[in-house]
Amino acid sequence: MSGLTVFRARVIFDGSVVHRDRQLVVEDGRVRGLVPLADTPPRSRIIDTEAEWLSPGFVDWQVNGGGGVLFNDNPGVEGLARIADAHRRFGTTALLPTVITDAPAVTKAAAEAAAESIKQGTPGIAGIHFEGPHISVARKGVHDARFIRPMEQDDLALLRRRDIGRIVATVAPENATVDDVAALAEAGTIVSLGHTAADHDTARRYFAAGAQAVTHLFNAMEPLHHRAPGLIGAALENPSIYCGLIADGHHVHPSVLSMVFAAGPKARLTLVTDAMSSVGDPSDTFELNGRTVHREDGRLTIDDGTLAGSDLDMVSAIGFAVRACGVSIVDALRMATSVPAGMLGLNTIGSLRPGARADIVTLTEGLEITGVHMAGEPASLG
């Protein structure tokens, strides 16, 4: 976009705070700043969104699929573009496509797809999340145990690549050493503990070694116990650790989410979707590693009842946090914008500060999306 464009809404949330009686000025696809309504720059194009809320685009670091595409089954540039397109209609303008535990060839193909997408500038693709295969069999969830294995030197090399954007690696102490975590952290990879039976002391050692996050807190880990706080307790007591939370009412009870949102470190809590191919797709079944996943009332399970990712989109996660868990709209928006962007170390997304990419979502008072812009240009929501 060339020239100046001014966006107006009743309330503008910049990723940190709320602004009223201000308008957002965008120049050449970047945020120039916020100015009073009386100070409209001359010769600017005015877009009055008539929305209640104007927010940065949402950031999601755990997306397995969308639009009928599962990343594991379609690890290519076209598949990633379709996944990003599917989530954009729900306000997500930056995501990490997530490849779960699979054969080494699939994991490598996923890395190549992310690299090519970054090279081509595929809209919405910010890197990649490797969720496995270096996790615990005991806490594998829906992951296929055939492919779970210890981390080796080739794996370390893959997880330290510099050409695939931001990398999150979900690992478990059962199959990744403290030295592995330290090497990854030193290379800039974001290590997230998950799918593990690790106890409290072990989790603290791995955080000290450089692990920075926890994948879908509460799910696929030892439950919190007052005498054995485990990974959950180690994460919540540490103000430096980011925690992903799936706010759909199926993965974590709303009462537990409410407690975490009320008492947890808000600057480190992030909403994630853990979305599967069903998001933005009408099909009620799909295949995962040769098993059929069924969708019923927004819940995805395989035949034995094990949860298989989620049918959640980010704007629905925000709405659930607000309506079912008592979170303020501002805090919920932070957990979907600036906090995950901060976790990923990306200062050009997740905010509307000067210099940020003008990825914009507009919402009604009831948190329904009315529009999405990427770099200041309207995005197709078809």
The values of phi and psi at residue 300, to 5°, are -110, 125
316, 318, 321, 324 alpha-carbon torsion, rounded to 10°: -40
C-alpha closest to that of 12 among 361, 371, 369: 361
Task: Pull the structure tokens for residue 306.
Answer: 């094990």
The values of phi and psi at residue 216, to 5°, are 30, 75
Q: Are 78 and 120 in contact (CB under 8 A)?
A: no
102, 274, 281, 313: which is the annotated catalytic residue?
A: 274
Task: Pull the structure tokens for residue 325.
Answer: 């868990």
DSSP sequence for 245-274: E--SSSSS-HHHHHHHHHHS-GGGEEE---
* CA 368 centroid distance within chain: 19
Q: Are 44 and 5 in contact (CB under 8 A)?
A: yes
Identify the residue whose tokens are 């994460």.
235
Alpha-carbon distances, residue 315 vs 191, 196, 256 (angstroms): 26, 29, 20
Q: Is 297 a catalytic residue?
A: no
Q: Pairing relation of β-strands 58-63 and 369-374? A: unpaired
Q: Are 192 and 343 in contact (CB under 8 A)?
A: no
Q: Indicate the DSSP class of residue 39.
A: G
DSSP sequence for 165-198: SEEEEEE-TTTS-HHHHHHHHHTT-EEEE-SB--
Max intra-chain CA distance, the chain: 65
Contacts of 241 (CB under 8 A, 6+ apart): 207, 211, 212, 213, 214, 234, 235, 265, 268
SS3 287: strand
Identify the residue whose tokens are 């034995």.
304
Q: Are 339 and 267 in contact (CB under 8 A)?
A: yes
- Active-site positions? 274
